[in-house]
Amino acid sequence: MKRILFPIGAAFAAMAAAVAQTPTYVTTRDGCNGATVGQCLTQNTAPLSPLFYSQPYEYAFAVTNTSGAPIRVLGFDFYTASVSGSPEATDAFVFEDATGPTATTHSLPATIAIAQGTMTVNGFNSWWSVSVYPAPLIQPGQAFWIGFNPRSRVSPPMNASGTPGPAPSVYRAPNINGNRWTASTAPGQPAWRIRCTGPAAVPVLTALDLPRIGQPFRLQTSGGDPSSVGFMIWALNGSNWNGLPTPYNLAAFGAAHCFLHTSSNEALLMLLDPAGSGVHTASLPANNALLGVQFFNQAAVSTNANSLGLLTTNMGRGVVGN
């Protein structure tokens, strides 16, 4: 798609201070494919007797798709808490088994994740959620793994009692890039819940660049219908829409299980290619007044899956830097 000027730039300039700023862009919350979202797989969700401890490892927990049908994994929840008592952000992942996508028994996690996201965990025991992108398709009976990298800042989600996962149920590694997974001796049993939908593709929003002043900023939407249309939403608020708290359920408009995650200062037309993808490019002015401004994005793509005629993506949250 052709380049446009950075939307709502005048509003940004009026709000921001001219200070040095590291650019960031993270994605969060779930997109939708028109299917019901549910907790399709769980492990040790009750009773909850968490074990609180800290180790400098990445953890992966064995999961088998026992639902009897293909599932699209949107994300998962761990019952845990931060070690410091303050909010901590950790990287979370979905891995295939090391033997490949047709595995029905667990060996060890693959080296490279097939989906990932960022989980923020506060300092009290609760269920903490992460959305992962792209939402992977898991076949019936498939053995796979979910995990996160707590970096000694978040306790592993382990119960003092409960049912063991598929053996071996827990592996750990020093970091995501090494193929050094080893069986863990962590006490207790893992506690997790997986959110999923049916197998249809979920449209996904990703950033191809970081938002820097004086440079183009590209957002990609994928998973739409071939050669269809969509809209890119730009917003200054990610917590309410027209005074209503977000995520706002669009079921009343004919899009059950789809949510608006942001306000909507501008919605700009986007054309998708034969693969169902489109790139939206904004030009960020070389204006120091934009440094540190926070903004939000979400995309919507046309569909025949509901009466509204739209599916929504995950939400992106950016901070303009240099």
Q: Cα Rg for the chain, rounded, in angstroms?
A: 20
Whole-Å CA distances, 212 to 16, 87, 118, 155, 293:
14, 27, 22, 35, 11
The per-residue pLDDT for range 85-105, each reduced to its tens digit, is: 999 999 999 999 999 999 999
Q: Give percent of the chain with pLDDT exceeding 90.
A: 71
* 4-34+200-319 and 38-197 share one fold: no
Residue count (the chain):
322
Helix (H) or strand (E) holding 10: helix 9-15
Q: What does DSSP assign to residue 290? A: G
What lies within 8 Å, CB to CB, of 10 at 6+ separation is none
- Report the distance separating Cα 221 and Cα 46, nearest Å: 38
Domain 38-197 has CATH 3.40.50: no
Question: What does the angle CA 146 – CA 41 – CA 43 come to, to the nearest 5 degrees?
Answer: 75
Nearest alpha-carbon partner for 30 in 250, 270, 205: 205
Check residue 143 and give its pLDDT. 97
* Pair type for strands 143-149 and 244-245: unpaired
- Report the distance separating Cα 201 and Cα 242, nearest Å: 29
The per-residue pLDDT for range 111-144, each reduced to its tens digit, is: 899 999 999 999 999 999 999 998 999 999 999 9
Whole-Å CA distances, 143 to 63, 65, 70, 159:
6, 7, 12, 22
Mean pLDDT over 180-194 rounds to: 87
* In the chain, where the domains are located: 4-34+200-319, 38-197
Check residue 290 and give its pLDDT. 93
Q: What is the pTM of this model?
A: 0.82
Residue 152 pLDDT class (50, 70, 90 cuts): confident
Residue 209 pLDDT class (50, 70, 90 cuts): very high
Task: Name the E strands within 198-303.
Answer: 204-207, 216-222, 229-235, 240-241, 244-245, 248-249, 259-260, 266-271, 278-283, 294-302
Q: Are residues 313 and 221 in contact, defined by beta-carbon separation less than 8 angstroms?
A: yes
Q: Strand pairing partners for 145?
A: 62, 95
Q: Is 68 exposed, middle or buried (0-12, 13-18, 19+ CB in 10 A)?
A: exposed
> Is a pLDDT exceeding 90 seen at residue 19?
no
Mean pLDDT over 263-292 rounds to: 94
The per-residue pLDDT for range 24-49, each reduced to its tens digit, is: 999 989 999 989 999 999 999 988 88
The per-residue pLDDT for range 75-85, each reduced to its tens digit, is: 999 999 999 89
> Is a pLDDT exceeding 90 seen at residue 4?
no
Higher pLDDT, 28 or 23: 23
Q: Which two tokens stand for residue 278?
A: 């489109």
The type of residue at 275 is A
> 4-34+200-319: what CATH class?
mainly beta
Helix (H) or strand (E) holding 41: strand 38-43
Q: What rounded mean pLDDT belongs to the chain? A: 90
